[in-house]
Structure 1
Amino acid sequence: MPSPRLSVVVTRRLPDAVETRMSELFNVALREDDTPMSREELADAMRTADVLVPTLTDTIDAALIAQAGPQLRLIANYGAGVDHIDVQTARQRGILVSNTPGVSAEDTADMTMALILGSTRRIPEGLSHMTSGEWTGWSPTALLGRRVSGRRLGILGMGHVGQAVARRATAFGMQVHYHNRKRLRPEVEDRLEATFWESLDQMVARMDILSINCPHTPSTYHLLNARRLKLMKPDAMIVNTSRGEVIDENAMVRMLRAGELAGAGLDVYEHGWEIAPALRELPNVLLLPHMGSATVEGRIEMGEKVLLNIKTYADGHRPPDQVVPAML
């Protein structure tokens, strides 16, 4: 007699192909609309499901995990980042946590380069001139940006995304520098034409553009604090497609407003969807709504990883993308 199918609750709408395959494999409760679950709805799901499939919009903290039913044994996160999940508490309760690493690296790197180009070439200001009707014709001195070729790009975090950014930047003729917890192997550095800086302070002070590509962990919270931001050159720019909490946003806004930083391209924000009004008002800031991994192909691949993690667990094995506290 076949074993009963796992009960799976999905907290947000996923691509049709992913939801269809999930329905074929498990007893799945899909989200009817694409709004985040309330805390009460999350608690109800965790009391009844064998597997929860959350996204970064769901805060799965210790208090919520305490309400989980004894049958909940896997939180299969749809996304690579797990800073919204209390992995340590889940582990103590015997609940496994998995994620979807490596899927969105190329897509996020594409968006990083888009922000670099958009910020340095003042594309938002150009768009504003066109949509407002302000443009009256070409001028030799209008909207002068900066050339990216030959400029120094500092990459903070040289994982999958950071290395994908480095490959693209090299193709654009940029000089690639990086800071990382661990130095890359010499052959990888040579391939990426990347210069390692053990001191983040020293790297930050010398870069023309700084790209944030590290995860948000307790050790990276406000890694770019007010003191470190002050080390940057006045004509330097910051691009962030990773996590907003890595930057002290208030300090960055003050410097942008005072002309102590030339500009910023942001896809993520320190307070999630609560964007500081000052950021919206600054003409030298390019803002995007967390689009870094938003491609059809990437979203489907993320879903395939979720499916593989759940199916492997259902077959009695460790999910291939299990997250443990030591990894954070």
Structure 2
Amino acid sequence: MNPASKPRLLVLIPLTGADRAELAGHFDVLYAPDAQQRAQAIDQHGHTVRAVLTNGTTGLTTDEIDHMPALELAGALGAGYENLALDHARSRGIALCNGAGVNADCVADHAMALLLAAVRAVPQFDAACRAGVWRDALPMRPTLTGRRLGIVGYGQIGAKIARRAAGFEMTIGYHNRSPREGVSARYFDTPLALAQWSDCLVVATPGGAQTQHLIDHAVLDALGPEGFLVNVSRGSVVDTAALAVALAQGTLGGAGLDVYEGEPAPPQALVALENVVLTPHVAGTSPDVRAASIRHFIANATQCFAGAPLLTPL
């Protein structure tokens, strides 16, 4: 295909060579994964861009949209879209999509891995073993099986976490903006009520202003000194300062975080604490997930430019 006949795509996030090659089969790709390249690309070529590929963290601003008069589609590679100027894009008639559901299995797997690691102190036991410390000198850890699991955000990821937790014979409760039809898990109308009931709380809700610090001091206090928190959603959902105090003072038993406020800088209030397991926002990433996400965006774009409904519209 002649590159001139392909729609120009502005990519604002880091991609592998294989990802870019896949996109190049369908688009004239303009790759700008850092702030300087981004500003230069929009300034020099914004008027020719018909599609943008970004993610929830990187986003797309109103000013950038205004510098792209030919823009028809803005897509988030993953499920998150909290920093996309949605209302402004809609006012321009720009189609919006995300990768909802594509990485749900991977995120759910990682959530369970963090929960097990936090409850069973896997990183701490690993370090002790490497240092030659035997089990008699170490505290025993709780069993996960049979405990009460609260899930904040019962979308595709939350449902998959519940399915995995059922294998551990856990009783499931959840909080969502409204009850889900056909869900057997117990519904709680506030995160606080859910935390009061739960032994372990997994956060899988979207980020953004509506969920800012949804998990606050009161929720953490309700979980209690034998409770555990896992966050695989967005760092903004959990009050980091309150979490650090709860972990340091032992009013919360432990935590596993894949996301945190101030990414990508390490969460300084947490890094010195032994009762928290940290991973660098990798829950939804794997080679197979990335390849599937790229294919999913291409499918959404193909629908858009054909005048057909998007697969996962926002």
How far is the alpha carbon of 1:57 from its aligned partner?
Answer: 4.2
Equivalent position of 1:166 in the other structure: 162
What is the aligned-residue RMSD (CA, Å)? 2.1
CA–CA distance in structure 2, aligned partners of residues 249 and 10 of structure 1 = 31
Distance 1:124 1:136, change over 3 A: closer
Distance 1:260 1:46, change over 3 A: farther
Equivalent position of 1:177 in the other structure: 173
State the one-letter code of the partner of 2:198. M
- Give structure 2 stretches of 5+ with no counterpart: none
Distance 1:109 1:93, change over 3 A: same
SS at match of 2:160: helix
CA–CA distance in structure 1, aligned partners of residues 297 and 56 of structure 2 = 14
Q: In the alignment, which of 209, 223, 245 is matched to residue 214 of structure 2?
A: 223
Distance 1:128 1:155, change over 3 A: same
Mapped pair 1:110 → 2:101 = no
Question: Percent of aligned pairs with the same residue?
Answer: 30
Q: Does structure 2 conserve the Cα–Cα contact (< 8 Å) formed by 1:7 and 1:50?
A: yes
Q: Does structure 1 conserve the Cα–Cα contact (< 8 Å) formed by 2:13 and 2:58?
A: no
- Give structure 1 stretches of 5+ with no counterpart: 324-328
Q: In the alignment, which of 224, 237, 244 is matched to residue 228 of structure 2?
A: 237
CA–CA distance in structure 1, aligned partners of residues 59 and 80 of structure 2 = 12
CA displacement, residues 172-229 of structure 1 (integer Å, 9 cap, x when unaligned): 121111111121224x32xxxx222224322211211100011013221111122332
Mapped pair 1:36 → 2:46 = no
CA–CA distance in structure 2, aligned partners of residues 42 and 284 of structure 1 = 44
How far is the alpha carbon of 1:96 from its aligned partner?
Answer: 2.0
State the one-letter code of the partner of 1:137. W
SS at match of 1:8: strand
Mapped pair 1:289 → 2:285 = no
How far is the alpha carbon of 1:89 from its aligned partner?
Answer: 1.1
How far is the alpha carbon of 1:17 from its aligned partner?
Answer: 4.7
Equivalent position of 1:5 in the other structure: 6
Q: Does structure 2 conserve the Cα–Cα contact (< 8 Å) formed by 1:126 and 1:143?
A: no
State how many pairs are aligned.
310
TM-score of the two chains, using structure 2 as the length reference: 0.91
Q: Does structure 1 conserve the Cα–Cα contact (< 8 Å) formed by 2:192 and 2:218?
A: no
Give runs of aligned pairs for residues 1-328 of structure 1, distance below 5 A: 4-30=5-31, 36-38=34-36, 40-41=39-40, 43-44=42-43, 46-66=46-66, 68-131=67-130, 134-139=131-136, 142-186=138-182, 188-189=183-184, 194-323=185-314
How far is the alpha carbon of 1:113 from its aligned partner?
Answer: 0.3
How far is the alpha carbon of 1:124 from its aligned partner?
Answer: 1.4
CA–CA distance in structure 2, aligned partners of residues 9 and 199 of structure 1 = 40
How far is the alpha carbon of 1:6 from its aligned partner?
Answer: 0.7
State the one-letter code of the partner of 1:254. V
Q: Does structure 1 conserve the Cα–Cα contact (< 8 Å) formed by 2:42 and 2:68?
A: no
How far is the alpha carbon of 1:155 from its aligned partner?
Answer: 0.5
Q: Does structure 2 conserve the Cα–Cα contact (< 8 Å) formed by 1:155 and 1:211?
A: yes
More deviation in 113-122 or 40-49? 40-49
Q: Does structure 2 conserve the Cα–Cα contact (< 8 Å) formed by 1:238 and 1:263?
A: yes
Q: Does structure 2 conserve the Cα–Cα contact (< 8 Å) formed by 1:125 and 1:283?
A: yes
Distance 1:283 1:41, change over 3 A: farther
CA–CA distance in structure 2, aligned partners of residues 206 and 41 of structure 1 = 52
SS at match of 1:322: coil
How far is the alpha carbon of 1:16 from its aligned partner?
Answer: 4.8
